[in-house]
Amino acid sequence: MTVMIDTGNYIAAKAAVMAKPDVVAAYPITPQTTTVEGIADYVATGEYKGKYICVESEHSAMTACIGASEAGSRTFTATSSHGLFLMHEMLHWAALARLPIVMCNINRVAGPGWNIWADENDSISQRDTGWIQLYCSSNQEIFDTVIQSFKLAEDKNVVLPVMISYNAFILSHTSMPVEIPSQKEIDDYLPKFKAKWKLDTKNPVTHGNIIGTQYYEKVRKAMQNAQMNAKELIPKIALDWKKKFGTYHGGLLERYRCDDAEQILISMGAIGAESKAAIDELRKEGKKIGLARLRTFRPFPKEEIIKLGKQAELIVIDRNISIGSEGAVFNEIKSALFNKVDTKVTGFIAGLGGKDVPYTDIIKMCKKSIKSKAKDQIWYGFNEEGR
């Protein structure tokens, strides 16, 4: 075990290389750039021995990963915002083809206007592609989640691609100390990849042929089952990791001071980490409030949310908005509770376009919702003049 002090992106690169993917195909985009630069450095030093394919676009990056994965290779890529949007068609393909590709997505604003800061609308807009979506809130969590994601994606009952999201700059370009196990320990934890299916000249099959309606539905149902299996597996993988390596960030969600809470704040990503400071302050004031930080958005932890709803009133902060509806997490939470629990749920939109959401603002949001009746979503700190 060594301690490495580095930015979220370089930590992701380190984790990816330690997982020994056979193929990495990526195209640089701010704020993801240093992730792929980091991997390129490991190619130069000889630490990364797989194939590194420099492609001409993100669409090609994903198709290269799909091709390599179909040939039985462990694959990794990383992207951000517009790069992710360019991949969109192939994201569906990767999931429907049941390829355990692992990808980091560094959450960045969608343009126009051109803005490179943190906002979760990029990954949220890929919600229905079939990818497992995990959200991190520290560099240690990024390292652990990247390695665990290969385990999760390649599990025989899952076999789906995994997207690991973390906020631009707040995590991607901020250095933190991270405990790194030895390569031997990682090798023992993550054995060589054995594809569940592959294109193999010794056993020729066709993939992606014309398919009748009666079979297509079966493929979709199998993906849904695989996501449900992932929902059971994610907490087990996290606990197993804790036993082996000591670090733990929660299962499907991370509970923080929830035990006697009458209000529970739900947030994810960087706001999820910042929320802990807000909870500590509110607790000092005697407020019975806790935090449930979402780690998985797909599969959505419906059962856990119902448990929280039975215990407390819920406050939700979204750093995204599904235009024409409401914040994606707020929407999902209400849908999970419907017909099961009747509790007050207050939703906030905050931090869009990378606007800073300090713990002081989170405290204000919590206080506002403790006092008020249930309302439709509130745009916190919205200012027409843009101040």
Chain contacts with another protein (rule: CB under 8 A) = 96-98, 159, 196-197, 202-211, 215, 218-219, 221-222
Nearer to another protein, 191 or 204 (CB): 204
* Shortest reach from residue 175's CB to another protein, in Å: 41
261 and 288 Cβ atoms separated by less than 8 Å: yes
Nearer to another protein, 35 or 229 (CB): 229
* Shortest reach from residue 97's CB to another protein, in Å: 6
Nearer to another protein, 13 or 162 (CB): 162
* Shortest reach from residue 131's CB to another protein, in Å: 15
* Shortest reach from residue 378's CB to another protein, in Å: 43
* Shortest reach from residue 210's CB to another protein, in Å: 6
Nearer to another protein, 183 or 224 (CB): 224
* Shortest reach from residue 242's CB to another protein, in Å: 30
Q: Would the CA dihedral through 20, 90, 271, 311 be positive or negative?
A: negative
Nearer to another protein, 52 or 197 (CB): 197
Nearer to another protein, 96 or 266 (CB): 96
* Shortest reach from residue 290's CB to another protein, in Å: 40
89 and 63 Cβ atoms separated by less than 8 Å: no
Distance in angstroms (rounded) separating the CA atoms of residues 109 and 89: 20
Nearer to another protein, 206 or 339 (CB): 206
Helix (H, G, I), strand (E, B) or coil at 157: coil
Nearer to another protein, 49 or 220 (CB): 220
- The one-letter amino acid code at 112 reads P
Q: Would the CA dihedral through 222, 224, 227, 233 be positive or negative?
A: negative
351 and 271 Cβ atoms separated by less than 8 Å: yes
Q: Which residues of 7-26 are buried (b: 16+ CB within 10 A; e: fewer)?
A: bbbbbbbbbbbbbbbbbbbb
178 and 140 Cβ atoms separated by less than 8 Å: yes
* Shortest reach from residue 162's CB to another protein, in Å: 17
308 and 336 Cβ atoms separated by less than 8 Å: no
> Is 322 buried (19+), middle (13-18) or exposed (0-12) by CB count in 10 A?
middle
Distance in angstroms (rounded) separating the CA atoms of residues 266 and 289: 11
Q: How many CB atoms within 10 Å of residue 296?
A: 23
Distance in angstroms (rounded) separating the CA atoms of residues 221 and 303: 20
